[in-house]
Amino acid sequence: MYKRIYAVLAGLALVAAGYGQSNTRTYTIGMSQCNLGEPWRVQMNADLRAAAANHPELKVIFKDAQNDTLKQRAQVEEFVSSKVDLLIISPKEAQPLTEPVARAFQAGIPVIVLDRAVLGDKFTCFIGADNKKIGKAAGQWIAKKLGGKGKVVELKGLMTSIPGQDRHTGFREGIAGTDIEVIFEADMKWLEPDSRKEMESALSRFDHIDLVYAHNDPGAHGAYLAAKAAGREGIKFVGIDALPQEGVAYVAQGILDATFRYPTGGAEAIDAALKIFKGEAVPKQIVLGTRLFDKSNVRAGGERLP
């Protein structure tokens, strides 16, 4: 009799343990963020965290590469040797991160590349906005604003990263065939202090500048500060990112003339990770949309670009 009760209890315990197990399977995601010195990257991590918080089975381990490519390569290797279930990376530079990402992928770890692309196709899924399209839209907006003619400074994002390259190429396409002249261009590496310094050089070399196109809002803001400190008025500033508390606020305050939203992709990356864990297919590329914010629409929340 007792034996039978024990057997039944033991059976129930096994079932309960099995049930518990299938419900408590956790997945560890390693996230390598290229730096946390820029507000946009802090936002990306916050977006990832918020989306993951809705899924208690997910555990995200964040690493900050502090804008150091070698450190980021090492982080990817650490995540591989600690056998995370999935890797998310927002790489600093394309070429040097391509190989460690490919090795993780070939070791069987699904890899989601966020915002800055790597080369080749050895990753599971790339998520990001179309930087060529954003650059082109910025070029067209600028051409229209300046009536097809004017002297422009281009302050570029890190040119060893794909967004820097694409925001440049797209912009040149956008102003092609107009009388807009790029009188000064420099790589400010996405950084506000570098941008301010480059703009000081541009201001000392050129008496007349109509507009600054910077590849991100910190860059546009750095240029604005340089012009303000030099007492140069009447220059327009255009950036990219459009964080509510940064670029959009600058447009609302009249510091920037326009900015284009560059979504972080944090929530989409968690969605893709969940699909991968369920064994569902994810597209190789997920392209995120953009919005334009300028004086005419900033109060209404900007305007979606087709």
Q: Is 115 in the site for ligand FRU (CB under 6 A)?
A: yes
**Beta carbon nearer to ligand FRU, 95 or 296:** 95
**Which residue from 54, 44, 27 is spatially nearest to 288, judged by alpha carbons?**
44
3-state secondary structure of 156: strand
Q: Give the count of residues interacting with ligand FRU (CB under 6 A).
A: 13
For 150-162, letters b (16+ CB in 10 Å) and e give: bbbbbbbbbebbb
User: What does the chain come to in residues?
Assistant: 306
**Which residue from 286, 287, 276 is spatially nearest to 111, judged by alpha carbons?**
276
Q: Is 268 in the site for ligand FRU (CB under 6 A)?
A: no
- Nearest-approach distance from CB 15 to ligand FRU, in angstroms: 50
Residues 233-252 interacting with ligand FRU (rule: CB under 6 A): 240-241
In the list 38, 154, 166, 268, the residue contacting ligand FRU (rule: CB under 6 A) is 38
- Phi and psi at residue 190, to the nearest 5°: 75, 5
DSSP structural state of residue 246 = I
Q: Is 171 in the site for ligand FRU (CB under 6 A)?
A: no
- Nearest-approach distance from CB 159 to ligand FRU, in angstroms: 12
Stretch that binds ligand FRU, among 5-13, 36-44, 176-184, 277-285 (CB under 6 A): 36-44
DSSP structural state of residue 137 = H
Phi-psi region of 177 (alpha: psi -120 to 50; beta: other; left: phi over 0): left
Residues 75-114 interacting with ligand FRU (rule: CB under 6 A): none
Chain contacts with ligand FRU (rule: CB under 6 A) = 38, 40-41, 115-116, 157, 161, 163, 190, 216, 240-241, 262
